[in-house]
Amino acid sequence: MEKDLHRIKVLRLAIAAELVLCLIALAGILCGRDRITGTGMDGSHEWVLEAAKEGYIKWVDFNVSYTALKEAYELDVSTYGKEVHLDWVELLAYLGARYGGEFDSHEKSIRKDLESLAGKLTEEKLTMAELTKDMEYYSYYEEAYRAVLGGLVGEYEVEKTMEDGSKQWSRVYGLKAYSPIAKGFYYEHYDDFGTSRNYGYKRQHLGHDMMGQIGTPIIAIESGYVEALGWNQYGGWRIGIRSLDKKRYYYYAHLRQNYPYAEGLEEGSMVTAGDVIGYMGHTGYSTKENVNNIEVTHLHWGLELIFDESQKDSNNEIWINVYPLTRFLAGHKSSVEKIEGTREWKRTEQIRDPALNSQ
């Protein structure tokens, strides 16, 4: 019965998604759009089944809650180096398949469910393959969630200052991604994904806004390379950074007028997670460059998933709700200091990301 109800829900969502896609396509034809900001629609498991024919995922609803992210991450880190190392993406995918992707309605049981799953894997010595053999959508959730989270946790080296003032590199395991706002800088935010936007044409808000002060240092969430840099009438001065595995495209918009970017940043630049890449402002909503037409100073950041390059600049872009991810990343902020005599800020704690070494 539960599986039948789930299929009915999926079918309804698929029908709704088709209708939204048609409307978006029509809006794109009538009004035009800037490809860097993307479009969007509600997805469903029907997209998974259709994607199997084409060999790649066509839609992701990322509804993993902050609680689930935090609990799964802690299990991953606490078991690193032990006989059974729990992979937080696999844990979340298991819950995703069990919950039908809806975590909020299971918020009270997430911790208990994860502890039970961890016990089966570590104490009963069952494998994830054994536990998920009858889960129809587990492989989809594992691939989808790994596309979102795959580069955020792992081994890296961090430079630490010793008591005598010398510097020493230490290898650590854990979160190597950072909050997009530097440590010590105030901001406000709320879950605003999918709200209406009217400039240019009516569309959904496909990112997350973090309100703060002009000049607040903006941080590279993950290591990668600058794929886009410059003016966009919707996003103002903006930066697009592609993850090293090419699965994630990070979009940072409405950067500061006159001095939006960190010195030396340009298309093709490689950045390390935690680097200062730009500064908060309120540029945008203008075809003329360097105009402050956004009323509230804020960073808009978005995350696009890319399973096939044909999705990158199309009417089928996959933008996900990053509000719970923003809350999760708030626990790891990059410390910065002002460079005397300039408008620049720089990070104070350096890291070495092994992923960059393979580039």
pLDDT digits (tens, 9 = 90+) for 186-199: 999 998 887 877 67
pLDDT digits (tens, 9 = 90+) for 128-177: 999 999 999 999 999 999 999 999 999 999 998 888 888 899 999 999 99
What's residue 46's pLDDT? 54
Note whether 73 and 141 are same-domain residues: yes
At which of 106, 127, 149 does a domain end? 149
Note whether 72 and 136 are same-domain residues: yes
19, part of any domain = yes
Note whether 9 and 70 are same-domain residues: no
Q: Is the per-residue pLDDT at 51 higher than 90? A: no
Contact 302, 251 (CB under 8 A): yes
Q: Report the predicted TM-score, pTM, of the whole model to 2 decimal places.
A: 0.85
117, part of any domain = yes
16, part of any domain = yes
What's residue 194's pLDDT? 77
Identity of the amino acid at 147:
A
What's residue 14's pLDDT? 43
Note whether 81 and 111 are same-domain residues: yes
185, part of any domain = no
- Of the candidates 203, 180, 181, 178, the one whose C-alpha atom is nearest the C-alpha of residue 193 is 203
- Of the candidates 227, 228, 212, the one whose C-alpha atom is nearest the C-alpha of residue 280 is 212
215, part of any domain = no
Q: Calculate ∠ Cα 99-103-109, nearest 5°.
A: 80
| Token output for 186 | 């105030």
Contact 275, 256 (CB under 8 A): no
CA-to-CA separations, 222 to 183, 209, 334, in angstroms, rounded: 16, 18, 12
Confidence of residue 254 (pLDDT cuts 50, 70, 90): very high
What's residue 147's pLDDT? 98
Confidence of residue 222 (pLDDT cuts 50, 70, 90): very high
What's residue 313's pLDDT? 87
* Average pLDDT value over all residues in the chain: 87
What's residue 22's pLDDT? 39
Range of the domain at 144: 66-149
Which residues lie closer than 8 Å to 296 by C-beta, 6 or more apart?
A: 209, 211, 282
CA-CA-CA-CA torsion sign (189, 192, 198, 201): positive
265, part of any domain = no
Arithmetic mean of pLDDT, 324-334 = 97
Q: Is the per-residue pLDDT at 19 higher than 80? A: no
At which of 121, 149, 177 does a domain end? 149
Arithmetic mean of pLDDT, 36-56 = 48
pLDDT digits (tens, 9 = 90+) for 268-299: 999 999 999 999 999 999 999 999 999 999 99
CA-to-CA separations, 110 to 69, 72, 263, in angstroms, rounded: 10, 9, 44
Note whether 142 and 71 are same-domain residues: yes
Note whether 81 and 106 are same-domain residues: yes
206, part of any domain = no
Note whether 70 and 125 are same-domain residues: yes
Choice among 28-32, 45-49, 167-171, 227-231 with the minimum mean pLDDT: 28-32
Identity of the amino acid at 355:
A
At which of 122, 149, 176 does a domain end? 149
| Token output for 32 | 């035009």
Note whether 110 and 46 are same-domain residues: no
Tell me the C-alpha distance between 231 and 254, whole Å.
9
| Token output for 145 | 């969630």
Note whether 40 and 109 are same-domain residues: no
- Of the candidates 356, 337, 352, the one whose C-alpha atom is nearest the C-alpha of residue 169 is 352
Arithmetic mean of pLDDT, 258-265 = 97
pLDDT digits (tens, 9 = 90+) for 67-106: 999 999 999 999 999 999 999 999 999 999 999 999 999 9
Q: Is the per-residue pLDDT at 29 higher than 80? A: no
Q: Give the chain's domain count.
A: 2
257, part of any domain = no
Which residues lie closer than 8 Å to 351 by C-beta, 6 or more apart?
A: 156, 157, 158, 159, 176, 272, 273, 274
Note whether 91 and 50 are same-domain residues: no
Q: Is the per-residue pLDDT at 249 higher than 90? A: yes
Q: Would you list the DSSP string of 48-98?
A: HHHHHHHTS---------HHHHHHHHHHHHHTTTSSSPPPHHHHHHHHHHH
